[in-house]
């Protein structure tokens, strides 16, 4: 039996006075006012900016650090007819940033080559072979996106090869900067840019917006042409959907629906997402649909396939590329599920779930997929997970790690640098080591986690926006809550606690993991509620039980019909006074 952790419900207190004042100002239901107040939005002006994002909300691109230097280098190369070599990354953010930059520079008359690295052959960041390639192509400007901030040796090598270098990146900045001619990164300590949390594609979008203005292009037209790429990178890279990212996501999802790019249109058709999003694109269509497909090429084959798709201008060729990516995504899902099943079997058989950190290793696991499996293990067991693929013949092992709050992956890898080399950030990282050292690494890591992670950190917490009366979560309130979209990191869909409801019937579906619950609560009409991933627990319950439930209040639209529903996220026997 798989071990899971009973979650703790962390219910926020309500500020009723602030809710009432905001609801009165907006003429909106209390539930919408509550959700805004819980997001620290307490006045009508701030609420209007949040609920109605527009292009005018974008900050001035010239505030980006080194913007003027970067613009001088890029536009100077254009005027001189020099070749520009754009270097991206192999994930969705890096690929969309590279595609956006390549398309825009070509549009304003630049000579451009666009490259993204091969995960297996080049690895993360800038490989020296890419610098050699740029030099052989005659590039005079080496322009990075979504990478480069820590590529000190590679930037020096590019300069020694006779190229000027502009770095655009959004990753954390260390104590020193690379010796590039311009470093555009809103995380720089000297940055005056008001919103640092842009994705790599977001940084490129804003840089190109400034260039578009400098060369006299209409900014509305510019954003209309490139927000579809920017939203893909922003959402897929799990950036917080607040501030400028909210503008990118809200407007970008609309542009995605009627994108003129053959590659995006072909991917929407091939994946079936075009039909699923008939009533409007949501962020989850990227997170769980388009993003994994674009990532599949980089995980199993070559990210250049996804880049080619996004750059393609021919409909027929785009359809062929989209078909290849769909095939790779099917393979990715199959292999990923198999690895996850094998990893969970190891965890259960060896009782690794008893450890404060879980380390699993096996030969033959695809390196491009073990990070996803590590995330699944963290979700299931709520412990840091280190998943390692072995090649005993060459004595090589490569791993990917994901964590929980309270255990810093990069710090842990630094502390174990005598056994493994790697890096990352607080919640994720990658590493390599000798295959013969895996057992010693696992023992040292578990001991380190035992010292570092307090016992309370292993209890999974579910953040709950508020406790509400059933009557507050009706149809009109559900409609109003949709104004908070797009939902995602930093702006989760509201999760509400409703107490003492009755489960009048538990209805199995074709998928036993996801039954439906016929529910009765005071002040609302009887509801038919999907209960995702709760099938095993609900199979043990009886009709008529009274429960406290965590729900998301939604309006489902399907084939012309509209239904008000509560999606049940979790439940407990009712606490009846």
Report the percent of the chain where pLDDT is more than 90: 83
Could you give the domains of the chain? 8-12+462-573 (2.40.50.460), 57-217 (3.90.1640.30), 357-452 (3.10.310.30)
Q: Could you give the maximum distance between any two Cα atoms of the chain, in Å? A: 79
pLDDT digits (tens, 9 = 90+) for 434-447: 999 999 999 999 99
- Mean pLDDT for 122-150 is 93
Lowest mean pLDDT across 12-26, 98-112, 335-349, 468-482: 468-482
Closest CA to 29 of 38, 42, 37, 20: 20
Q: What is the pLDDT of residue 1?
A: 36
pLDDT above 70: residue 577: no
Distance, first Cα to last Cα, the chain = 34
Bigger pLDDT: 205 vs 298 = 205
Q: State residue 523's pLDDT score.
A: 83
In b/e form, how buried is each residue of 209-223, taking b as 16+ CB within 10 angstroms? bbbbbbeebeeeebb
What is the pLDDT, as a whole number, of residue 124?
Answer: 75
Q: State how far the Cα of 389 lies from the Cα of 267, in Å rounded to an integer.
A: 31
Report helix, strand or coil for 530: strand
User: Do 88 and 114 form a contact (C-beta atoms < 8 A)?
Assistant: yes
Across 170-189, average pLDDT = 94
Residue-wise pLDDT for 153-167, tens only, equals: 999 999 999 999 999
- Per-residue confidence band for 310, with pLDDT thresholds at 50, 70 and 90: very high
Q: Tell me: pLDDT of 242 over 90.
A: yes
520 contacts 502 by C-beta, under 8 angstroms: yes
Pairing mode, strands 111-115 and 83-87: parallel
Q: Please state the pTM of the whole predicted model.
A: 0.91
The answer to whether the bond into 299 is cis (omega within 30° of 0) is no
């Amino acid at each position: 039996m798989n071990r899971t952790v009973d979650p703790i419900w962390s219910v926020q207190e309500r500020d009723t006075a602030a809710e009432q004042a905001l609801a009165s100002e907006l003429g909106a239901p209390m539930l919408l006012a509550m959700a805004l107040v819980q997001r620290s939005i307490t006045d009508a002006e701030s609420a209007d900016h949040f609920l109605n994002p527009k292009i005018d909300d974008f900050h001035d691109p010239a505030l980006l650090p080194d913007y003027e230097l970067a613009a001088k280098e890029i536009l100077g190369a254009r005027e001189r007819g020099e070749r520009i070599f754009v270097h991206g990354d192999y994930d969705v953010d890096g690929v969309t940033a590279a595609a956006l930059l390549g398309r825009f520079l070509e549009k304003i008359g630049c000579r451009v080559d666009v490259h993204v690295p091969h995960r297996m052959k080049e690895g993360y960041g800038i490989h020296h072979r890419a610098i050699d390639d740029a030099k052989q192509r005659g590039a005079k400007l080496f322009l990075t996106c979504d990478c480069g901030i820590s590529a000190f040796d590679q930037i020096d090598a590019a300069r020694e090869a006779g190229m000027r270098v502009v770095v655009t990146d959004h990753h954390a900045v260390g104590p020193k900067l690379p010796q590039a001619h311009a470093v555009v990164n809103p995380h720089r300590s000297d940055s005056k840019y008001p919103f640092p949390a842009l994705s790599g594609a977001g940084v490129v979008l804003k840089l190109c917006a400034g260039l578009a203005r400098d060369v006299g292009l209409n900014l509305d037209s510019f954003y209309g042409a490139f927000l579809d790429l920017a939203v893909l990178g922003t959402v897929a890279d799990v950036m917080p959907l607040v501030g400028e990212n909210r503008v990118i996501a809200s407007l970008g999802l609309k542009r995605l629906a009627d994108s003129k790019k053959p590659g995006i249109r072909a991917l929407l058709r091939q994946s079936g997402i075009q039909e699923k999003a008939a009533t409007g694109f949501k962020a989850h269509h990227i997170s769980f649909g388009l993003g994994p497909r674009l990532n599949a090429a980089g995980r199993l084959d070559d990210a250049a396939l996804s880049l080619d798709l996004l750059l393609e201008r021919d409909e027929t060729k785009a359809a062929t590329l989209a078909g290849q990516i769909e095939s790779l995504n099917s393979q990715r899902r199959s292999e990923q599920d198999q690895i996850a099943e094998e990893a969970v079997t190891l965890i259960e058989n060896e009782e690794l779930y008893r450890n404060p950190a879980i380390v699993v290793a096996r030969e033959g696991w695809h390196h491009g997929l073990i990070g996803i499996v590590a995330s699944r293990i963290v979700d299931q067991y709520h412990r840091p997970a280190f998943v390692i693929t072995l090649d005993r013949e060459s004595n090589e092992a490569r791993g990917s790690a994901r964590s929980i709050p309270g255990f810093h992956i990069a710090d842990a890898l630094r502390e174990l640098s005598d056994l493994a080399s790697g890096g990352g950030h607080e919640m994720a990282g990658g590493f390599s080591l000798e295959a013969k050292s895996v057992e010693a690494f696992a023992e040292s890591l578990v001991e380190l986690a035992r010292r570092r992670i307090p016992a309370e950190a292993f209890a999974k917490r579910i953040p709950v926006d508020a406790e509400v009366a059933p009557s507050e979560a009706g149809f009109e309130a559900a409609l109003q809550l949709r104004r908070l979209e797009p939902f995602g990191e930093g702006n989760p869909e509201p999760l509400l606690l409703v107490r003492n409801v009755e489960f009048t019937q538990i209805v199995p579906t074709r998928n036993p993991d996801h039954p439906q619950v016929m529910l009765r609560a005071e002040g609302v009409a009887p509801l038919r509620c999907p209960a995702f991933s709760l099938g095993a627990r609900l199979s043990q319950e009886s009709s008529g039980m009274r429960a406290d439930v965590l729900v998301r209040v939604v309006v489902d639209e399907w084939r012309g019909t509209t239904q008000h529903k509560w999606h049940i996220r979790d439940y407990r026997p009712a606490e009846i006074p």
